[in-house]
Amino acid sequence: MGWQKWLLLMVCAVACTWAMVKAVPTSHAGQTDLSAHVTSGVFTTAHPTAAQAVRDFLDFHPEHPVQPIAYTHAVHLANGLQCEFCHVGVDQGPEAQIPGVAVCMTCHIAIDTDKPEIKKIAAYQARGEDIPWVRVYNYSDSAHVRFNHAAHIRAGVGCSTCHGDMTKQTTAERKVDLNMGFCVNCHKQKQVSVDCETCHF
């Protein structure tokens, strides 16, 4: 981590501490009244803890988040499965849906049923639960970014631009930092709008 991020982290820590000190009301006798500050334990509506808020703010995300199922993109793509089969609607709307257990079991009701990872999927289905996939890319609510997959696909932006070569990955990996600099540079290279309203609305 560069010195700029450390400096920013220190400034944020001091500012947050000062804001919390100033926010605690004092009683008429000058004593701090903490009884009025019983909270639910949620730091913000977007982050359950202060540590997670700081990690999100500084764009610290795991490159390879651990998934509940070791889904192998390389094998599925080698067998001719297209991205749109599992990520339904990616070419029609803003989101690339993450497949539910029913999508997986469409094929795996009969294919490789004896493999451990397929047994895990079948167990999720038997319990009536969906697979708790961990998102690799997302924007926090505080970013106010509305990314639209369909618009990028229509413009000819390949999935590999952001997601890397999925034919060489097992579970998805974070290949780029989807921060403002990355997006603005890409828009400039492709000579498309960099107006704020393009992404922030």
Q: In this structure, is residue 10 part of a structural domain?
A: no
**What is the domain range of residue 186?**
73-98+133-199
86 within some domain: yes
27 lies in a domain? no
**pTM (2 d.p.):** 0.63
Contacts 24+ apart (CB under 8 A), 150-157: 150/89, 150/90, 150/91, 150/92, 150/93, 150/94, 153/90, 153/91, 154/91, 155/190, 155/192, 157/186, 157/190
Segment 69-127, tens digit of pLDDT: 998 999 999 999 888 888 888 888 888 888 889 999 999 999 988 999 999 999 999 99
List per-residue pLDDT tens for the chain, 201 residues long. Answer: 566 667 777 777 777 666 554 554 444 444 444 444 444 444 445 566 777 777 777 767 677 788 899 989 999 999 998 888 888 888 888 888 888 899 999 999 999 889 999 999 999 999 999 898 888 887 776 778 888 899 999 999 988 998 989 998 888 888 888 888 899 999 999 999 999 988 887
Tally of domains in the chain: 1
Classify residue 195: in a domain, yes or no: yes
In a domain, 180, yes or no: yes
In a domain, 188, yes or no: yes
Residue 125 lies in a domain: no
**Is the residue at 9 inside a domain?**
no
